[in-house]
Chain A
């Protein structure tokens, strides 16, 4: 049984907590957030203790895993504190705000002999798993051009931290890091990146970027990152190879639509499409991590891979700033 202490009781913290609630060999024992109410609310759901001070949590609670769901710039602090205390570490993506932070985190965990797992959950999303399986199987032959889309409106979090590009890295680092990891996992190392975007443009609550990646294999990928478009969260993937093409669009793949007549209390009667699964990708991801800890295995996402995804995102941001392609 792995005892988990969660840091950060925001949206992703709640998602992780819900997954631990379903994992047989794990138990959420503590929730820490600098906002005492947020920590207490989430902890109460799972019979866990709540804290607003990390040191107090380490002093008062025995646990095996620290799960970090804070805003990006604070990942590194909690990785270090956790590793120093001999805890295994699960850290939300993106791994770090800088490569230096990623390196420090890897070193701290290696030195402490603890497992470090970066939660690149896309690898457990069934559509992205299926796409990689089909590609690896040779269903579309040798891949040539890849197009991905991800995003919707501007996210809102603690202190509007997503709008602080020095903290969040905008849509390029925070959002399409998912696609970067999947692309690197599927198509191998990247050679160079060229990107255009609104990064820190000063347009309030808008970020949008179009990123072109050339892989060493010759594959060309085009990534759309949007915190600027209405109409709900959209995800699409298309891979064209020399023997075929696969494409997927979440707006088409909704087996369930719930539509209600508008009433005064319900607000506008917009039908809401959804794609329910018997198990959530977050559950599968965290179950994998917990099993790896229990069985002494290495998790499927290595810290180096997570750092490579950050490197690609930071290179894209550099390209947006300089107007030139950036070699990796």
Chain B
């Protein structure tokens, strides 16, 4: 489903953010992308979302190469990938359900579809009772659930989570990860970029470790450290 083929990304004066990275992610997989900050995780995310193009190599999602996309096709490409970030990126002056509905409105979904999907996905993340609250009235974990609901409301085949637990306490973080696992269980391909050792070790899923732009380890049912 997602293929990175000898992908290199060079920024400015010889900074190799990614260096000859090759990776295959199958449909329905759950994968942790780990490594210290500056290892190239963010670049990986940017390239996968086609916010940027690789300097060398190819990235393909569902058989479509990102470089081949025309500018006006990029939005439709992005609709395949739901994203959540460390900082939630919610709109503070809108309620929970408006935040989620926003993602459907901007892709011009019919109103009936919006009324149907928003409660559904809020139910999935367990926030139906907070649908009229504003982000400021919610805890960090709840805010991340809203972000998750927004990412999922379009039914994207891929969910990309960039440090989704970075701002959360361990217990809440664990709830979010369990939610991600459940989403994966329903068939969505899930990619989690993180540097939280505990979670990765506990989950025992595929782990791809980046260091200074290179893949140093790719392990099924792996852990954060290499010693296991």
Q: Do the two chains bind? A: no
